[in-house]
Chain A
């Protein structure tokens, strides 16, 4: 399964699931990374982390550690 932290720059993918039910997972869902939503990787910060994503028409920054919990697939 591909996770959000290893998709190529500029790629748009569809969220399949967010693993876990701890506060981090809930916050990712609350920010709009729900199953079925589309996400684009806009960029990475100078040291490769965190990531800049586009989701639901806005830009969201999360760390790779959190991105790894979001499994994604093709649209």
Chain B
């Protein structure tokens, strides 16, 4: 009987194949859930290893990145070649290679298979989608093919599980016996013809290989197309139809966007309610003080702040995995390619960028589907410029309070709506400009071929889809989530310390005096009412606590930083309080409203609720520059804040995820720097312009 660990040395088996040939499905069928998912050293190419025991031998199955050829042209393909040659650090040279080939597209798939056979490693050829080939009337004589190639050839069908046991058996049987047939392409020396003379060895090899494959397949494949149209082909015809195909594409993209924008919110609500309950429970167990504050406001708030992203990530990857499983992801990239090429990106950037309008974090993670590394990095760098749902409350509150309620010019368009739409457009335009600029400068390189198979319709495998969702959520929680908690603790410390109760008392006393003075000097009835209300609130326990909280925050490192940077934010029309709120919103943009509430002595209000929002709106409208009667929040200032938040990178979680996904801390720093500079410039321009024209 097989021991759980297997006997003897583990056998290393590599799984190799073209993209979109059912390699992930085969991996899941053979090895189940991977035991290790990470990156190969030094490159951001995913390393996936599964482990299982067969006939008492432990087998480590390495899932190599999808590749069309072993003459590598991308980091992904380099990794595949390095692993097969035994040149990859920390990865033993495989004892056997399982080459996955699509039975419905054997000719091109044998290109990679024959290259692999020439490496001299034992090979098992798995013909996936064999059931689909049967239905199409494609008959493959696998015995003949096996004799000609000199390696076992196994029919695989994911729907029935056919071939899985046979592959497990063969991969052990072929150990130590390299393929027996002669090399397919023996010489690539130029022949006499003129056309051949100018070709490179690689080009001659490709041409000779296809010619050899044609001879190899003679008598192996017989076609007997079925009489009627297959279900797959009917669906495929609909999806590629000029009109219907485009409409379905739009509907699918809308569904993806709607689901992560709206469908995720009840789930996120559930997560935050659950975390609030945990916080309240834990908080109740601990005595009031620094330890409780650390655990509740630092650690638990950080856990809540990272778990909250899981519903969106899971939903987005559910869609992506289904689209990938159907073969539709490539078609989506094909349909949108031209639009994104104009911005220096490619069609594969579309879904990640679209998702970023809901939240940049799942969007950046979805960039994993972009094989081209330059395009992937560019997409990650500009994704946070898409106006995410966290910016919306900021826009809504400031637009609602400070943008005049009138139509634009002589049109019927309400100005508030135009400003809101403009903020969304601003993000898109700036992202396009940044991507274009970077692709023409820093990321300028040899042209990358956009050469992609458009697979036909196929049914996605639930096991593969669920595994993709689980993997995305898990890797986020384990890698990014833990760091987000750490960042949250640091920010909690910066917001809570130093703390001096005497200074807080003094602050409250001087607040009362300045309010009294302001109320006496105010000539605006509404303002005076707000000042009187604020004064009266100081006599209630809640009002006093809120004022003390505001004072404590103003004293903290972050509060001091707000005062320190005042000269920098002055040209944007901001006073130190807004600067403070902007800095304090580094954990997440939406925090800015809550922080403004605390700074303006309203305590912990909920800006998402009408009551909290109105209270904050009233307080902001009444705010004056220290010691003067001049309003802080005017239209240019509100616009300046909104433009700043549209372009800034005030989201620690996004930066953490960029670091994790790119495997380097350079890129989050670059993202934060360029976005903050752009945000400042944008806010400066709109404020100065708005002030000059007298808005």
Contacts and interface: CB of A to CB of B under 8 A. Distances in A.
To the question of whether A and B form a pair in one complex, the answer is yes
Given A37-B210, A43-B242, A58-B453, A32 B108 contact: yes
B341 A21 contact: no
B450 A66 contact: yes
Given A47-B338, A50-B450, A61 B73 contact: no
B454 A23 contact: no
Interface string B539-568: 000000000000000000000000000000
B71 A47 contact: no
A27 B341 contact: no
A52 B454 CA distance: 8
Contact of A45 (B104, B206, B337): B337
A10 to B, nearest CB: 12
Contacts of B396: none
B202 interface: yes
A31 B451 contact: yes
A8 interface: no
A32 B451 contact: no
Contact of B337 (A43, A50, A58): A50
Contacts of B417: none
Contacts of A50: 334, 337-338, 347, 450
Interface string A25-36: 111111110110
Nearest to A37: B210
Contacts of B108: 31-32, 56, 58
Interface in B128-179: none
A35 B71 contact: no
Interface string A7-31: 0000000000110011111111111
B145 to A, nearest CB: 16
Contacts of B447: 24, 65
B450 to A, nearest CB: 5
Interface string B196-209: 00111011001100
A50 B337 CA distance: 7
Contacts of A17: 195
A62 B334 CA distance: 9
B71 A26 contact: yes
Contact of B449 (A24, A32, A34, A47): A24
Contacts of B242: 43
Interface string B426-469: 00000000000000000000110111111110000000000000
A60 to B, nearest CB: 6
A34 B207 contact: yes
B99 to A, nearest CB: 16
Highest count of chain B CB atoms <10 Å: which of A22, A24, A50, A52: A50
A1 B335 CA distance: 29
B454 A60 contact: yes
Main secondary structure of the interface of A (DSSP, over half): mixed
A6 to B, nearest CB: 17
A27 B68 contact: yes
Contact of A30 (B206, B240, B347, B455): B206
A63 B449 CA distance: 8
Contacts, number: 113
Interface in A41-61: 42-43, 45-50, 52, 56-61
Contacts of B677: none
A19 to B, nearest CB: 9
A60 B68 CA distance: 12
B454 A63 contact: no
B200 A45 contact: no
A35 B341 contact: no
A56 B107 contact: yes
B372 interface: no
B614 interface: no
A52 B452 CA distance: 10
Contact of A59 (B202, B336, B454): B454
B246 interface: yes
B454 A35 contact: no
Nearest to B109: A58
Contact of B202 (A21, A32, A48, A60): A21
B479 interface: no
B334 A60 contact: no
A52 B206 contact: no
A49 B341 contact: yes
B339 interface: yes
A46 B341 CA distance: 13
A9 B450 CA distance: 20
A62 B456 contact: no
B379 interface: no
A26 B206 CA distance: 8
A52 B341 contact: no
Given A47-B338, A58-B105, A61-B454, A21 B449 contact: no
Nearest to B107: A56
B71 A59 contact: no
Contacts of A32: 107-108, 111, 210
21 contacts: A21-B198, A24-B447, A24-B449, A26-B73, A26-B206, A27-B451, A30-B68, A30-B71, A31-B108, A32-B108, A32-B111, A32-B210, A34-B206, A34-B207, A34-B211, A50-B334, A50-B337, A56-B107, A57-B104, A60-B453, A61-B451
Interface of B: 68-69, 71, 73, 104-105, 107-108, 111, 195, 198-200, 202-203, 206-207, 210-211, 240, 242, 246, 330, 334-339, 341, 347, 446-447, 449-456
The 7 A-B residue pairs with the shortest CB-CB distance, nearest first, are A47-B338, A21-B200, A29-B206, A59-B454, A24-B449, A58-B105, A27-B449
Given A21-B200, A45-B338, A50-B450, 19 more contacts: A26-B200, A27-B451, A28-B449, A29-B203, A30-B71, A31-B108, A31-B453, A32-B108, A32-B111, A35-B207, A43-B240, A45-B336, A46-B246, A46-B335, A58-B453, A60-B451, A60-B454, A62-B449, A66-B449
